[in-house]
Structure 1
Amino acid sequence: MNVAAKERMLPKLDHIYHQLLDAVDAGIHIVDHEGVSIVYNRKMSEIEDMDKVDVMHRKIMDIFMFAGEEESRLMQALRNGDVRKNAKQTYFNYKGQEITTINDTFPLRSEGGDIIGAVEIAKDITRLERLTRESAREKPDAKYTFDQIIGRSAPFLEVIDNAKRATRTTSSVLITGETGTGKELFAQSIHNGSERSSKPFISQNCAALPDTLIESILFGTVKGAFTGASEHPGLFEQADGGTLMLDEINSLSAPLQAKLLRAIQEKTIRRIGDTKDRSVDVRILATVNEDPLISMDKNDLREDLYYRLSVVSIVIPPLRKRKDDLPRLVEHFVAKYNHRFQLAVPGVSQGVMELFTEYDWPGNVRELEHMVEGAMNLISYDEEIDYSHLPPHVRHKFPLYATYSFTPPAPATGPVHGEKRPNRTLQSFMEEAERVYIEQILDQCEHNVTQAAKELGISRQSLQYRLKKYEIKKNI
């Protein structure tokens, strides 16, 4: 190939070279003899969360937060010819974000042996390092007891009674309940009521992490098990003698559920990368947020694990099935946020309490707490929570309660100038406004009760009750 042909090929080769660099699943960063970045591939940009334009043609000491050149592996390779293989490094980008990588760092030399640059090839372990560090921290003790569980409705009292009986043994417990029903509150209460109360209580949401991470967090690792792995006890070992709560157990993969089953049955675990088993004494409290039979039908929960966990089975009813507890719960949350926000809110209006009893509470007790907290962020110091303080999705579903938007019929004879209008009770005003609005909606729906109930956001039976209460005649 002649010189001219070679020169024509150079742009094509340069394009191919950059495509290959960006296709590699490893970060690559190359600096020249002055420490100026000349290669910075796509993967390294993702690892360090920085754009190429912020790095290319700039000195690395100007864009990364190092105390000095001695902390930068690239600069050590450039200045001293240091070579490092499979070495962990933690540093900060110019945004202050912590980055942890496993690096191969080495100098680039000319044919004469002079150092003309340095290269770093990196694998990202930032997330793994953070999660490992967080799981190794001392966990706070369980703080809830049965005395703090609010509810006196018959179905709820039965659940509390069954849970109290579970404190007498060390058997596994499966707690079933929709999101927001208080599954962890029950788990902590069982732990605190048992003989293990002085030992650790550790909880882990199994749906929050991928299997590759949750396995190492649960069972631990030995040094060298994989790149960057250190000697680290898992949650089973950390909870030894105490209780381990595994939330959303049905989110684990089938192979990991099988490994969990073996750990529960054999009372031993094996760290990732280890060759020996370690004995553990841990009580398992597991939770699922749907009927476990449905989870098994969908193959989300292994049958053998279900039967092993459900030695004791506790089913927490949703809030819509224990609405008798609403006044107590509301009173509790109002008092809680009065204390936290330094307010003196007396409670909720009668209209809001009636709305609460009609609402189906898909988010359960957690949703109720958030609704009260949100309302108290919008309220005056000693003002009662009313319809206007509720979130938009609730107001939209229950427009009937927006009494402030109604125009009740004016009195037949207005007051004489200088006279005071006769006082009306709030209850009287609300009932009149409710009657007027129902009549308006019925007229709009041509007296179709089913359609009117849908527009009002209430059940047909509830509307029938109001028609009878206000003696509203419907034309059918």
Structure 2
Amino acid sequence: MPIGGIAIRARELAKKLNSEIVQYVLNAVQEGILIVDKECRIAYYNCTLSRLEGLKIDDVVGRVLFEVFPSITPQDSTLCKVLETGAPIRDRLQEYFNYQGKKIQTVNTTIPLIDAGEIIGALEVSRDISLVVSLTDKISALQQGIHKGKFPPKGSTLFSFASIIGTSAKIRSIVKLLKKVADTTSSVLLYGETGTGKELFAQSLHKEGLRCNKPFIAQNCAALPETLLEGILFGSTKGSFTGAVDKAGLFEQADGGTVLLDEINSMSLPLQAKILRVLQEGVVRRLGAAEDSSVDVRVIATTNEKPADLLKAGRLREDLFYRLSVICVEIPPLRERREDIPDLIGYFIDKYNARFNKLVTGIAPEVMTVFQEYGWPGNVRELEHVVEALLNFADDGIITGEYFKYLSSGTFPGFVEQRSLIAAAEKPGNYFRAEFYKQEKEQIVAAMQKSGGNVTQAAKLLGIKRQALQYRLKKYVVFQE
């Protein structure tokens, strides 16, 4: 395009960006936004990016990109590549220095800006991951130190099967099964709702197996962007991306031990394929490397959704599922093992008595009744948090229902409140008691019929929580007018 045409296009782009609505929206988002024209001259630079990079907007807009960021070259720049090819670049990890020497670490998505079929600029959205990378590097360094014997073995802090609280048949059968396979090298897939204690079982499996003196390394697959997660798992070589250094990944660090991939259902399908290769061939290849490295790791994976649902939705590779699920175990939700609730409560009371220097001895029968009736959607983790909250307000003796008034967050307080309202209506001498129950029962029956027996949908129709409806359904089975 002639120079005059480029200048016209640049002015058109600047005019579009000067709209008050556009300015408001772009400055309101938490991600950094950078827009350049066809000549890589910065046309827009939002407030979030200004705070991140420590640069004033007026000092940046109108200048060529490489003047402001001298460590970036046209060959490295994703903006330049998008301007040249017209193809978006998504979730690209980038490390660079601004002209003040400050190191910036982001995950970027870059797209072309097209007007009348012609590329007039490019927009880049940057998510700051500097803190995540810093924490990850510290964990990685600690894990490598453990592997090299500089620190006490991580295995010494892990839970064992003896740490698992509960005498229910379901829990005991799971413990018995996992003990049998603890000494093998087979992959294990644990699935269950959030808060059921899947990592506790994974740690126990490692702790009581032949690999107990080798590293146990856990990685949450949902907590990090894909590009960063891949580098953490497989490692990197110098030059594999901007700012990359030679660094072993978690599979190499855990050689001889166990890697726990938590929430593997959050991992992209391409990355799942690379995990499959580790399982099948026992090799990893660092980002940017030309050769493979052999690793000997046992892989334990967890998911908070049923594998059948993930396979049907195409969110879990079928070949990876079959390779992972040599041993496949479902960890039951707390509502299916209610007989374990008293033991769990006792364990958590002892735990927080020691932590808070309290002398609580137990809970009153009416409190136990509430605990047994509640559905515990957050499972054991939610139960622990409720007990912890109650011990903040009780110094000694028995926790009674009076302490419920201090709870203010989560679904449990709502359940307690609705239960209290129903109890008030049940008091003898209440003139409206029979009519109240009759109308409520009719509404519940109608909602259940309309939803085809689906409790969740019926609860939505009635405008109440699922646990509250479950309580009423149970109550009306035995209620006699």
The TM-score, its normalising length taken from structure 2, stands at 0.68
Higher mean C-alpha displacement, 294-303 vs 345-354: 345-354
CA distance in 2, matches of 1:138, 1:128: 15
Match of 1:397 in 2: 415
Note the alpha carbon deviations across 1:259-318, whole angstroms, 9 max, x for none.
Answer: 110111100000010000000010000111111011100001111111101111111111
Q: SS where residue 227 of structure 1 aligns? A: coil
CA distance in 2, matches of 1:208, 1:215: 12
Match of 1:330 in 2: 345
Higher mean C-alpha displacement, 447-456 vs 353-362: 447-456
1:364 to 375, 379, 387: 379
Unpaired runs of 5+ residues, structure 2, are 1-7, 19-32, 61-66, 77-94, 107-125, 144-153, 446-461
Q: SS where residue 305 of structure 2 aligns? A: coil
Match of 1:137 in 2: 141
How much has 1:125 moved relative to structure 2? 6.9
Note the alpha carbon deviations across 1:17-52, whole angstroms, 9 max, x for none.
Answer: 997x95139xx99xxxxxxxxx99616851643787
CA distance in 2, matches of 1:362, 1:92: 50
- CA 1:434–1:329 in 2, change beyond 3 Å: closer, same or farther? farther
Match of 2:405 in 1: 388
**1:371 aligned partner, one-letter code:** V
What is the CA RMSD across the aligned residues, in angstroms?
4.1
How much has 1:459 moved relative to structure 2? 3.1
Residue pairs, 1:261-410, within 5 angstroms:
261-382=276-397, 384-386=399-401, 387-391=404-408, 393-399=411-417, 401-402=419-420
Match of 2:208 in 1: 193
Q: What stretches of structure 1 move > 6 A for 4+ residues in a row?
A: 11-14, 16-19, 82-87, 90-93, 452-456
**2:49 aligned partner, one-letter code:** E
Q: SS where residue 244 of structure 1 aligns? A: strand
Higher mean C-alpha displacement, 322-331 vs 458-467: 458-467
Match of 1:23 in 2: 35
State the identity %: 39
- CA 1:240–1:439 in 2, change beyond 3 Å: closer, same or farther? farther
Q: Is the 8 A contact 1:153 1:325 kept in 2?
A: yes
- CA 1:442–1:126 in 2, change beyond 3 Å: closer, same or farther? same
CA distance in 2, matches of 1:398, 1:186: 31
Residue pairs, 1:3-402, within 5 angstroms:
22-24=34-36, 42=45, 46=49, 48-49=51-52, 89=97, 99-100=103-104, 126=130, 129-130=133-134, 132-139=136-143, 140-141=154-155, 142-382=157-397, 384-386=399-401, 387-391=404-408, 393-399=411-417, 401-402=419-420
The TM-score, its normalising length taken from structure 1, stands at 0.68
- CA 1:306–1:18 in 2, change beyond 3 Å: closer, same or farther? closer
Q: SS where residue 360 of structure 2 aligns? A: coil
CA distance in 2, matches of 1:447, 1:125: 55
Note the alpha carbon deviations across 1:155-208, whole angstroms, 9 max, x for none.
Answer: 111111111112121111111111100000000000000011111000001111
- CA 1:365–1:91 in 2, change beyond 3 Å: closer, same or farther? farther
Higher mean C-alpha displacement, 439-448 vs 270-279: 439-448
Match of 1:35 in 2: none
Q: SS where residue 23 of structure 1 aligns? A: strand
1:443 to 431, 435, 450: 435
State yes or no: 1:460 paired with 2:477. no
**Bigger radius of gyration:** 1
CA distance in 2, matches of 1:391, 1:292: 35
Match of 1:110 in 2: none
